[in-house]
């Protein structure tokens, strides 16, 4: 018997909040069965790595609750996507071996203690072991966010009637959205531009090999600054991975910036990128009307929901 599961994804971004309810079965592409988009009132949010982000908790909670009610769904478990800029993502090489997850976390804290600008003990830390090198080093993917920041989001979402089962960053929500297509490439380079943020991820032999994101603080798409960020990130990656095979290049961007971003990626990489579209990763249920613009807006929330399917 095939069971259909539903999952709720929530993205919180500078433009407001986006919710997507997906349904699917194991091994099959998910379908969009409900969506909600709204904006926060002025001065409700101010994104920061150090301080709680929500300045008006009552307004934030009311908006989340109202948007969720309009979905007409019984799904309350939510996978949440936050901007990369409210935390830190990094790959670390650990020379010291560890026997347990807690021991690994202690080693990472010790390694970061001298270089991190705030008290590392006030930071919520999560990590994933990516690979073990022949030289004995362990490569780990580390995600960091201030405890005060993440705890405030958790408490307010619970107050709004949601159960935040996973809180992550937008870069990984976007990667999850396109993961099915990327898995077909032996080595993949994914470049994205959503929410004024340039993201670059490299996957080698199915394992993340590099990740970097940078918010471009401009009111409109700025080709020069975006190109500079792409080339700088590619240079950093190539310096770290000089001996590795070439990658198949993919790119994805929202709205009117999509064509210009593709051209910048082609120029920076010297390869013709394969364009990924949110509308190709998920499809609407038969009773849902959804165009490419809406799919673009739902990219991160849909990617977050995929983590719970």
CATH number at residue 271: 3.30.420.40
Q: Are 246 and 259 in contact (CB under 8 A)?
A: no
Residue 226 pLDDT exceeds 90: yes
pTM score of the predicted model: 0.92
Between CA 175 and CA 199 the distance in angstroms is 10
Per-residue model confidence (pLDDT) at position 1: 45
Please give the residue that has the higher pLDDT: either 220 or 43. Answer: 43
pLDDT for res 192: 97
Helix, strand, coil percentages (3-state) for the chain, rounded to 5, are: 35, 35, 30
Specify whether 21 is located in the same domain as 67.
yes
β partners of residue 191: 200, 251
Work out the burial of residue 264: count CB atoms within 10 Å of its CB; fewer than 13 is exposed, 13-18 middle, 19 or more buried: buried
Bridge partners, 20 (sequence order): 9, 35
| Whether 173 contacts 11, CB under 8 Å | yes
Answer yes or no: is pLDDT of 174 > 50: yes
pLDDT value of residue 244: 58
Mean pLDDT score, 147-163: 97
16 and 141 inside one domain: no
Q: What is the CATH number of the domain that holds 139?
A: 3.30.1490.300
Phi, psi at 156, each rounded to 5°: -70, -35
> 132 with 266, same domain?
no
Q: What is the pLDDT at residue 246?
A: 66
For residue 251, tell me if it sits in a domain: yes
> Is residue 239 within a helix (H) or strand (E), and if so which, with residue range?
helix 223-240
Segment 4-51, tens digit of pLDDT: 789 999 999 988 999 999 998 777 789 999 999 999 998 999 999 989
Domain that includes residue 213, residue range: 184-280
Q: 270 or 219: whose pLDDT is higher?
A: 270
């Amino acid at each position: 018997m095939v069971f259909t599961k539903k999952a709720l994804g929530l993205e919180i971004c500078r433009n407001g909040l986006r919710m997507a309810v997906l349904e699917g079965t194991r091994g099959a592409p998910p379908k969009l069965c409900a969506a909600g988009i709204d904006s926060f009132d002025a001065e409700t949010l101010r994104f920061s790595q150090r301080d709680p982000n929500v300045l008006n908790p009552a307004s934030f909670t009311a908006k989340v609750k109202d948007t969720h009610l309009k979905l007409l769904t019984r799904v309350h478990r939510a996978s949440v996507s936050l901007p990369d800029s409210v935390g830190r993502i990094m790959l670390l090489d650990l020379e010291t071996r560890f026997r347990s997850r807690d021991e690994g976390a202690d080693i990472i804290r010790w390694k970061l203690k001298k270089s991190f600008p705030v008290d590392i003990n006030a930071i919520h830390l999560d990590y994933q072991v990516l690979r073990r090198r022949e030289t004995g080093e362990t490569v780990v993917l580390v995600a960091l966010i201030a405890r005060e920041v993440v705890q405030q989001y958790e408490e307010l979402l619970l107050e709004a009637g949601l159960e935040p089962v996973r809180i992550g960053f937008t870069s990984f929500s976007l990667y999850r959205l396109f993961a099915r297509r990327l898995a077909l490439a032996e080595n993949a380079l994914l470049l994205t531009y959503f929410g004024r943020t340039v993201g670059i991820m490299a996957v080698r032999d199915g394992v993340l090999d590099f990740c970097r994101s940078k918010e471009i603080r401009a009111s409109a798409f700025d080709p020069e600054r975006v190109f500079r960020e792409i080339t700088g990130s590619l240079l950093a990656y190539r310096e770290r991975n000089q001996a590795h095979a070439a990658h198949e290049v993919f790119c994805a961007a929202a709205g009117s910036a999509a064509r210009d971003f593709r051209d910048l990626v082609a120029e920076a990489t010297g390869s013709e990128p394969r364009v990924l579209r949110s509308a190709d990763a998920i499809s609407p249920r038969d009773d849902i009307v959804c165009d490419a613009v809406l799919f673009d807006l739902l990219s991160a929330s849909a990617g977050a929901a995929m983590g719970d399917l």
